[in-house]
């Protein structure tokens, strides 16, 4: 007896549950108040777009509503995180829905390293805002950003309700593991090889 059909059925059921949680299709673009409104009027882009439960944001600078960059790098990074939070809220999401972060850090030409001064503040903000979750993070060093004084920009991908999806995927993983071990304990063939 092969166990693959049972595994397929459990995996298919889990996939359907995940689709119900995160794939209701609707499309909405959003403009963040303050700086987002100014940039939309000037450059014509949205701060965030939501398709179903998936949210993509544009890069958020660490600027105030007048597009002024703080003197302190730490204040700039914290403001960028605040601006991401405000942008997510316009489409019904929070930092706890974030699954992927891209951050862009200005480095001097010839300096191939993003410094600890950037990384320390980024890590502190992740811990403060994500409630123990760890999204994937891509950190990129660049020589220029949208404004001459900018040193950081952050964009994110979020799945609204991803906390529910994570709980559902954990349940699916447990069910798949149970099926696997139940098959092994009964001497069932697993992937075409006999268990002795």
**What are the tens digits of pLDDT across the range 4-63?**
555 544 444 554 554 444 333 344 577 777 777 777 778 888 889 999 999 999 999 999
pTM of the model: 0.69
Please report, rounded to a whole number, the percentage of residues in the chain having pLDDT higher than 70. 68
Ranges 20-29, 101-110, 117-126, most confident: 117-126
Q: Residue 3 pLDDT more than 80? A: no
Determine the straight-line distance between the first and last CA of the chain, rounded to whole angstroms: 14
- Reference 73, options 51, 28, 106; nearest CA is 106
Q: Quick one: average pLDDT of 157-186?
A: 62
More confident residue, 183 or 156: 156
For range 180-184, the mean pLDDT: 55
Q: If pLDDT is split at 50, 70 and 90, which confidence band does 2 have?
A: very low
Is pLDDT of 173 > 60? no
Confidence check: pLDDT of 100 > 80: yes
Q: Are 16 and 38 in contact, with CB atoms under 8 Å apart? A: no
**Predicted pLDDT of residue 130:** 93
pLDDT of residue 162: 72
Beta-bridge partner residues of 90: none
Nearest to 156 by CA among 143, 142, 137, 141: 137
Q: What is the pLDDT of residue 21?
A: 43
Whose CA is closest to 82, among 119, 42, 34? 34
Whether 110 shows a pLDDT value over 90: the answer reads no
């Amino acid at each position: 007896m092969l166990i693959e059909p049972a595994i397929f059925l459990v995996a298919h059921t889990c996939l359907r549950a995940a689709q119900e949680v995160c794939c209701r299709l609707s499309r909405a673009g959003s403009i963040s108040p303050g700086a987002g409104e100014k940039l939309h009027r000037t450059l014509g882009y949205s701060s965030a777009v939501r398709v179903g439960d998936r949210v993509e944001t544009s890069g958020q600078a660490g600027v105030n509503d007048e597009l002024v960059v703080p003197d302190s790098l730490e204040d700039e990074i914290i403001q960028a995180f605040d601006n991401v939070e405000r942008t997510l809220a316009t489409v019904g999401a929070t930092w706890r829905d974030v699954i992927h972060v891209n951050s862009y850090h200005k480095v001097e030409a010839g300096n191939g390293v993003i410094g600890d001064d950037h990384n320390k503040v980024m890590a502190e903000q992740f811990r403060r805002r994500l409630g123990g979750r760890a999204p994937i993070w891509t950190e990129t060093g660049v020589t220029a950003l949208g404004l001459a004084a900018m040193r950081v920009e952050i964009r994110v991908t979020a799945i609204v309700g991803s906390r529910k999806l994570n709980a559902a995927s954990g349940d699916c993983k447990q069910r798949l593991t149970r099926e696997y071990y139940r098959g092994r304990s009964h001497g069932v063939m697993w992937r075409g090889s006999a268990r002795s």
